[in-house]
Amino acid sequence: MTVQLHMKGPLGEEVTINLDSGKDLYPTLSKWGARGFYSGAVPAGGYQLPFENEHDFNWALIGGRTFTNGDGEVCVFCQGHVYKRREFEAVDSRKLTMPAAVKYSRGAKPADPPHIREKGDGDIEYVSLAVFRGGRRNEAFALPPRE
């Protein structure tokens, strides 16, 4: 079974990669993603990922890379945008129950389409890259072991 992977590069270049099987998908995404390539647009609301994967998530799978900005904040550069790490404590009230979460998001820009914008406090709007909340750890999403 041949699998085709369509990716877009940091300069807008497009490549198609043929894989012999689906088992090569994540290693290939990681290899090309480390160079800034990505497959598909970020979904509205960001990627929904297991909370237990946040500490060692392989950002190259989506074409991202982490860095620490001048203010000491952990950030991810992905698809031409910088997303900051934000922690949210668990909520357990009569109206709402939500587990703890970590979200990588950025302020919305005028050119961002309405369907990806999220309301924040006041007039502030955000765009999310990834939300780590609940779920079971997925080893396929973790950084590969160092050799």
Question: What are the domain boundaries of the chain?
Answer: 1-40, 42-141
Per residue in 113-137, pLDDT tens?
999 999 988 889 999 999 999 999 9
Q: Which residues of 35-98 form beta strands (DSSP E)? A: 47-49, 64-68, 74-78, 81-88, 91-92, 97-98
Kindly state the average pLDDT of the residues 26-42: 94
* Residues 6 or more apart in contact with residue 95 via CB below 8 angstroms: none
CA 56 to chain centre: 12
Q: Which of 6-15, 89-98, 108-117 has the lowest mean pLDDT?
A: 89-98
Task: State what percent of residues in the chain have pLDDT above 90.
Answer: 82
Per residue in 39-68, pLDDT tens?
989 999 999 999 999 999 999 999 999 999
pLDDT at 95: 87
Residues facing 14 on adjacent strands? 8
pLDDT at 19: 94
pLDDT at 75: 98
Kindly state the average pLDDT of the residues 65-84: 97
Give the H/E segment covering residue 32.
helix 25-33
pLDDT at 73 over 70: yes
Residues facing 19 on adjacent strands? 3
pTM for the model? 0.91
pLDDT at 107 over 80: yes
pLDDT at 2: 84
